[in-house]
Each structure stands twice: as C-alpha cells, then as structure tokens.
C-alpha cells in the first residue's frame, strides 16, 4: 500500500485518541493481558455509549462529555482502516472548529472484516 496523506490522517486520529484518553495507543508494559488497543477500546466505548470509561479520573472532561464524544467521533473517522473513508485534514480541521457537523462514524474495522470474509 503506498504512503499517502491518508496515513497522516490515521496518525492524527490515533494521536487525538491518546490525548483524549491520556494513554498510549499500545501500552508496552501492560499489566493486564486483556488490555485492548486504544482504537478498539475507543470504538467499543463510543458504540456502547460509555465514553466516560476512556477518561482516567478526568472530572473536567467527564463534565463536558458531549465535547469528548465529538472528539472521539472525529478520531474514529480518522482511523478508518479503508483509507478512502478517512476525511481530508482540511475536513478534520473544519470538524474540530465546529464549521461542519461530525457525522456518525462507521466501524473503523469493517474494511478488514469484509476482506477476511472473502
């Protein structure tokens, strides 16, 4: 797969999740063998409506859960496995600034699932 600007969009989405959650994408020295990758955890929490589970004792963020939800939605848009589904960085900026509405993101891993089922 060629390296394109969509790789930067993916990286930005991961970075945004790390900032929101105050944790690394993958913990190198995980104490819990069941620990999920941050992208998986974020999507599961978003899908289940449990975004407060992403926020480690961050009461300020918990008090503004709607903003957290919007940021997580933007990050999920950015980490779509299918690069063609990722927004441009210009669109990401517009979503962050509130200039355009953030649509409900699809499952970021559905592309891989569809390939594996072939």
Per the structure, how many domains does the chain have?
1
What's the pLDDT score for residue 62? Answer: 86
What's the pLDDT score for residue 41? Answer: 92
| In a domain? residue 29 | no
| In a domain? residue 16 | yes
| In a domain? residue 30 | no
What's the pLDDT score for residue 79? Answer: 96
In this structure, what CATH number is given to the domain that contains residue 65? 1.10.510.10
CA atoms within 13 A on the CB side of 87: 23
87/18 Cα distance (integer angstroms): 19
| In a domain? residue 85 | yes
14/39 Cα distance (integer angstroms): 7
Cβ(46)–Cβ(74) under 8 Å?
A: no
Domain that holds residue 107: 5-23+35-116
pTM value is: 0.84
Q: What is the pLDDT of residues 22-75, one digit of tens each?
A: 888 765 555 554 556 899 999 999 999 999 999 978 888 888 999 999 999 999
What's the pLDDT score for residue 1? Answer: 63
Residue 88 backbone zone (phi > 0: left; psi -120 to 50: alpha; other: beta):
beta
| In a domain? residue 11 | yes
Question: 100: which residues sit within 8 A by CB, 6+ positions away?
Answer: 91, 94
Please choose, from the candidates 59, 57, 36, 60, the residue with its C-alpha nearest in 3D space to the C-alpha of residue 48. Answer: 36
* Residue given tokens 């409506």 in the structure block: 49
User: For all residues of the chain together, what is the average pLDDT?
Assistant: 87
Q: What's the DSSP call for residue 104?
A: P
């Amino acid at each position: 797969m060629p390296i394109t600007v969509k790789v930067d969009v993916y990286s930005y989405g991961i970075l945004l999740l790390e900032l929101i959650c105050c944790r690394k994408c993958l913990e190198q020295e995980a104490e819990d063998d069941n620990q999920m990758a941050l992208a998986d955890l974020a999507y599961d929490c978003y899908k289940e409506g449990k975004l407060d589970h992403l926020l480690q004792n961050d009461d300020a963020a918990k008090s503004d859960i709607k903003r957290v939800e919007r940021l997580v939605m933007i990050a999920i848009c950015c980490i779509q496995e299918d690069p063609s589904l990722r927004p441009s960085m210009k669109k990401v900026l517009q979503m962050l600034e509130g200039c355009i509405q953030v649509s409900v993101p699809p499952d970021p891993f559905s592309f891989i699932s569809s390939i594996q089922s072939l």
